[in-house]
Structure 1
Amino acid sequence: MALGKTIKIFLIDGDSNGRMSCELSNWTGKAYKIPRINIKECSDRDDLNNTGIYLLFGKDDEDNDLVYIGEAESVFSRLKQHLSGKEFWNEAIVFISKDDNLNKAHIKYLENRLHDIAVTSKRYKVENSLIPTQSSISESDRAEMEEFIGYVKILVNTLGHKVFDEKRSVKVQLKQDIFCIKAARGAEGQGEPTSDGFLIFKGSKAAHLITASLSPSLVKGRQKLIENGLLVDRGDYYEFVEDYIFSSPSLAAAILMGRNANGQTEWKLTDGRTLKDYETTI
């Protein structure tokens, strides 16, 4: 069972849209969330001249989430370089050690591992042009750095970015916990509700044809999934080639079945209960 944690967030400038520092109880690490427009003001943060790792967040022209993951022996100096070197980002999250316990080998290890986790989660497009090289560190240091990564994941999520989160629920899924749809035109899918909306599992089959009444916005959204290679034509149906999160159960059901749908009643457990029944029954 996961234990509760206390996070201390300090608004450095007294502004919820400005700079903030974050700390976890009983952890020697520290995080900063810094808007791009406030980077130059960070000369007043002496610890940002320390060794650390950082993440740059932004969006592309199609509103897709982007992240760049880096390391530096002076994080503040590197962030100032990125003001002219990289245009896409509008926010940075930085991690340092309060006891100066992170060395160059540590941050190279963290950079590589966080890059790998971000790529695997497939939530954000990772902007690094090269895969960071993983340093060789001792077994005890690896254990410490893996614990550090756990705290990084908690704080990055708390600060508004699920870049390191698995799309599927962390708990072990039992068959009776999975919601299903089997409908006309080859539609047959499985999924689960999540904190982000509704997740359709990889391998689910979307209807090959759509109805004439399907709303234009849904037609456009479905076509975008096909163009982006997330829905692949298998002849009699389209297959989801990776887990995909929709903003609502109804959107997920409509894309899957190729018609307008109420996801609260279309998604059902193996015992016949609808998603609506599942969510409203205590």
Structure 2
Amino acid sequence: MGHGKSITVYLMDGDANERYQVTLDNWNIESYKIPYEMILQSSDLNLHTAGIYFLFGYQDSQNFVYVGEAEDVYRRLTQHTPEKDKFIWDTAVVFVATGDGVLDKAKIRYLENRLYSIIKTANSYILWNKNKPTKSRISKPSEDSMESAIDKIKLVIPVLGYTPFNKRKYRSKKLEEKIVSSSKVDAKKVFYINQKEVEATCALDSNEKFLLLAGSKISSDIQTSLRKNIIKKRTEMTKEGNIVNNIIQRDTYFDSATAIASFVVGYSVNGKKLLKTEDGRTLAEYLESISI
């Protein structure tokens, strides 16, 4: 059995909807939770120093997070604007060293890489980072210290209301519950495309039309075999902000399984063979089973 830990949460403005300061006993790193609209009035906090930060938001029924590092966290946060980032975040959660703590550039880059990887593996939040952060090389004692810091960060983040480190154990069940709540589709008619760097969820609606669901991740590569009309659809959706960092932002209709599959993987492919049910049957096998 583990030992108890004491976390102190201070409502800096006397309001649970505004800024928090969080400290963990016997740890020389402190955390702040700051709403987007209060960043500029937080310049007097201990933020003009090196640290790691998370930007949290919610869009199209999906939680998202951006993981970053900076040698001046306050300055970096002021640079994260909707115009520059192409997404709108609600809250920043920051981890910086207190007076007797040290977080140098190598350590915060190590933390950024490891935290990104942990969140990606958990797969419960969409990651808005365009690329995987580079992992810096640090000494073994420093690495052990940063791994200990990660354990503590994983304790603090849920206290602030976020769970990006929790693994999505029942992905399809949750998705089906979401689908059932909508009159668009039958939960039994849900199909998946899972390949390297691709994770898409598709469904047949009540009119037997194909939907690519929001939150699906599509390939960043487009090969010459991809039909021109599908390339055009990708381009238009990107310009309209309906594809951000290869993540689909809204449910999107397609004419056929092949069109939706080709759109997702970036090359011409037989959708009836690529789309699969939760139990691994291809769409072709599923259609054959219901026609018997």
TM over 0.5: same fold? yes
Task: Tell me which of 66, 73, 80 is aligned to 2:71.
Answer: 73
Measured against aligned partners, the alpha-carbon deviations of 1:159-184 in whole angstroms (never above 9, x if no partner) come to: 1111012345xxxxxxxxxxxxxxxx
TM-score, normalisation: structure 1: 0.63
C-alpha displacement at 1:104, in angstroms?
A: 0.3
Task: Tell me which of 64, 68, 81 is aligned to 1:83.
Answer: 81
Q: Distance in 2 between matches of 1:78 and 1:144?
A: 25
Q: Distance in 1 between matches of 2:39 and 2:101?
A: 22
The equivalences for 1:89-108 within 5 A come to 89-98=89-98, 99-108=100-109
Q: Distance in 1 between matches of 2:164 and 2:156?
A: 11
Amino acid at match of 2:140: E
Structure 1's 7 and 223: CA in aligned 2 closer, same or farther, altered over 3 A?
same
C-alpha displacement at 1:215, in angstroms?
A: 6.6
The equivalences for 1:74-223 within 5 A come to 74-83=72-81, 85-86=84-85, 87-98=87-98, 99-168=100-169, 199=170, 217=182, 220=185, 222=187
Structure 1's 93 and 219: CA in aligned 2 closer, same or farther, altered over 3 A?
same
Aligned to 1:49, the other structure's residue is in SS state: coil
Amino acid at match of 1:163: P
Aligned to 2:34, the other structure's residue is in SS state: strand
For this pair of structures, how many residues does the alignment match? 198
Measured against aligned partners, the alpha-carbon deviations of 1:113-135 in whole angstroms (never above 9, x if no partner) come to: 00000100000010000110000
Q: Residue in 1 aligned with 2:26?
A: 26
C-alpha displacement at 1:59, in angstroms?
A: 2.0
The gaps in structure 2 that reach 5 residues or longer are 193-199, 204-270, 281-292
Q: Distance in 1 between matches of 2:96 and 2:181?
A: 48
C-alpha displacement at 1:150, in angstroms?
A: 0.4
The gaps in structure 1 that reach 5 residues or longer are 169-198, 207-213, 242-282
Q: Distance in 2 between matches of 1:13 and 1:25?
A: 22
C-alpha displacement at 1:158, in angstroms?
A: 1.2
Q: Distance in 2 between matches of 1:25 and 1:16?
A: 22
C-alpha displacement at 1:200, in angstroms?
A: 6.6
Structure 1's 216 and 158: CA in aligned 2 closer, same or farther, altered over 3 A?
closer
Amino acid at match of 2:277: Y
Amino acid at match of 2:21: S
C-alpha displacement at 1:224, in angstroms?
A: 8.3
TM-score, normalisation: structure 2: 0.61
Measured against aligned partners, the alpha-carbon deviations of 1:221-269 in whole angstroms (never above 9, x if no partner) come to: 727853643889899x93268xxxxxxxxxxxxxxxxxxxxxxxxxxxx
Q: Distance in 2 between matches of 1:43 and 1:101?
A: 20
Q: Distance in 2 between matches of 1:109 and 1:68?
A: 16
C-alpha displacement at 1:100, in angstroms?
A: 3.8
Measured against aligned partners, the alpha-carbon deviations of 1:42-75 in whole angstroms (never above 9, x if no partner) come to: 0121x10010000001122x22111100000000
Q: Distance in 2 between matches of 1:240 and 1:158?
A: 36
- For the 8 Å contact 1:52–1:74, the answer to whether it is kept is yes
Work out whether 1:239 is the aligned partner of 2:239.
Answer: no
Structure 1's 229 and 73: CA in aligned 2 closer, same or farther, altered over 3 A?
same
Q: Distance in 2 between matches of 1:230 and 1:150?
A: 36
Q: Distance in 1 between matches of 2:183 and 2:3?
A: 41
Aligned to 2:68, the other structure's residue is in SS state: strand
Aligned to 1:134, the other structure's residue is in SS state: coil
Structure 1's 59 and 200: CA in aligned 2 closer, same or farther, altered over 3 A?
closer
C-alpha displacement at 1:217, in angstroms?
A: 3.6
Q: Residue in 2 aligned with 1:44?
A: 44
